[in-house]
């Protein structure tokens, strides 16, 4: 298998596999709660490792079951009973938009699209104008799933901070392949999964919450861990980000995430980013040389490690099937993933390749050769 699908799920890190296996054996011997007590120091280190990776404090981190889980917890914990106004960019993740539309139907929340330039990047002047009218929240998918665009997240954060409007960043495609500093982003909250560029297990992720934003998050479903009993029929939320966590979770998965993160941190984000960028740049140039192939470009904006393309006369599904039959793991990015942006571009699907920092160059060459072989045979 030539694996080029890190944007969906990176191959599980060896360290993560071993950490989960060790804890599963411990649970067999000590039971789930005994094993959790024995692993408490390691669990604490997971929070510390995530905080260090994004320049936050451990008390500002909550662990989740994935990016959508964490993003939804933040949004649903805000009080929308009186309505509100949410601004979202054209490239926002489709699942996020679905939740926002549910809020619109249930509470009358107004959801507005932030104007974009021709490449899908947020028009900063337009955003500044929109923020002159009171807003409840700005959401930003930092790196959309359907292409290499890197949104100007730091500039968006500066405008939101100036206007006093909280910014929620979906960093699902950023964490692990791009430097992340929540201080310079000036975001109220940021979410990410463990399964993509960090190569942690599925079912893991985290939320960062700025301390000033935390009091606004009052999750209705908080249990005895997130909202402990204070006595005399009184309960109160925790004073850290873990008010977003449930009491029940897979300790093995969390330890797997911590181990993957430690392995990632040992390599260093500068090295990882450079390796991913080299591979993605090479892929775009090689693919553009194939007959009928056109990769998605970002103009003057930075590029992530995501490579998407169309091919004249061939749909994404047929290209995906052809590569799978030849042992290449790629992905389809359908309209539903980024509906506003795909409709603006007149696209229904794109084929997506996303190499990791250690993807073999032979695999990149093989994938392009396999695609060229298929196209020339048609």
Render pLDDT for 356-374 as a digit per residue (tens, 0 to 9). 999 999 999 999 999 999 9
- pLDDT above 90 (res 214): yes
Is 353:2 a contact under the CB 8 Å cutoff?
A: no
Q: How many residues does the chain have?
A: 378
- In DSSP notation, 230-261 reads -SSS-B---SSGGGGS-S---HHHHHHHHHHH
Is 53:261 a contact under the CB 8 Å cutoff?
A: yes
Interatomic CA distance for residues 91 and 151, integer angstroms: 9
How do 307-311 and 293-295 pair as beta strands? antiparallel
pLDDT score, position 277:
98
CATH class, 14-267 region: alpha beta
* pLDDT per residue as tens digits for the range 32-88: 999 999 999 999 999 999 999 999 999 999 999 999 999 999 999 999 999 999 999
pLDDT score, position 17:
98
Handedness of CA 139, 145, 151, 154 (dihedral sign): positive
Q: Give mean pLDDT, residues 132-143.
A: 98
Interatomic CA distance for residues 179 and 204, integer angstroms: 20
Q: Average pLDDT, whole number, for the chain?
A: 97
pTM higher than 0.85: yes
Backbone angles phi, psi at 331, to 5 degrees: -150, 160
- Does domain 2-8+268-377 correspond to CATH entry 3.90.1150.10? yes
pLDDT score, position 378:
83
pLDDT score, position 46:
98
Angle between helices 40-54 and 14-38 (to 10 degrees): 130
Q: Where are the beta strands (DSSP E) in 115-266?
A: 137-141, 167-170, 189-193, 205-209
- Residue spans per domain, the chain: 2-8+268-377, 14-267
Q: Give mean pLDDT, residues 268-285.
A: 98
pLDDT score, position 81:
94
- pLDDT above 90 (res 304): yes
Q: At 332, which helix (H) or strand (E)?
A: strand 331-334
- pLDDT above 90 (res 232): no
* pLDDT per residue as tens digits for the range 324-360: 999 999 999 999 999 999 999 999 999 999 999 999 9
């Amino acid at each position: 298998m030539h694996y080029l699908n890190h944007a969906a799920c990176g191959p599980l890190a060896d360290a993560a596999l071993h950490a989960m296996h060790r804890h599963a054996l411990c649970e067999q011997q000590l039971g789930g709660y005994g094993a959790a007590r024995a692993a408490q120091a390691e669990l604490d280190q997971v929070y510390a490792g995530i905080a260090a990776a994004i320049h936050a404090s451990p008390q500002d981190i909550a662990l989740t079951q994935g990016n959508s889980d964490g993003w939804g917890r933040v949004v649903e914990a805000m009080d929308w009973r009186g309505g509100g106004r949410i601004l979202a960019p054209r490239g926002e993740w489709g699942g996020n938009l679905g939740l926002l539309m549910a809020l619109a139907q249930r509470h009358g929340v107004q959801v507005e699209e932030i104007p974009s330039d021709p490449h899908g990047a947020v028009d900063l002047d337009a955003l500044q104008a929109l923020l002159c009218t009171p807003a409840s929240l700005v959401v930003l998918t930092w790196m959309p799933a359907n292409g290499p665009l890197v949104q100007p997240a730091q500039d968006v954060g500066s405008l939101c901070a100036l206007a006093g409007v909280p910014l929620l960043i979906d960093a699902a495609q950023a964490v692990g392949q791009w430097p992340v500093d929540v201080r310079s982003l000036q975001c109220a909250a940021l979410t990410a999964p463990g399964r993509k560029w960090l190569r942690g297990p599925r079912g893991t992720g985290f939320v960062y919450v700025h301390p000033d934003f935390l009091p606004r998050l009052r999750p209705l479903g908080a249990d005895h861990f997130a909202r402990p009993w204070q006595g005399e029929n009184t309960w109160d939320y925790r004073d850290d980000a873990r008010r977003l966590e449930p009491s029940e979770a897979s300790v093995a998965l969390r330890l797997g995430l911590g181990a993957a993160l430690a392995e990632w941190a040992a390599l260093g984000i500068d090295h990882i980013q450079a390796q991913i960028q080299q591979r993605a740049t090479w892929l775009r140039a090689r693919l553009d040389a194939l007959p009928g192939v056109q990769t998605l470009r970002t103009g003057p904006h930075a590029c992530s490690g995501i490579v998407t393309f169309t091919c004249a006369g061939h749909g994404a599904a047929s290209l995906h099937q052809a590569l799978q039959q030849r042992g290449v793991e790629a992905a389809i990015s359908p309209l539903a993933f980024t509906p506003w942006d795909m409709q603006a571009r007149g696209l229904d699907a794109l084929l997506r390749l996303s190499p990791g920092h250690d993807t073999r160059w032979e695999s990149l060459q093989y994938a392009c050769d396999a695609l060229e072989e298929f196209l020339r045979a048609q």
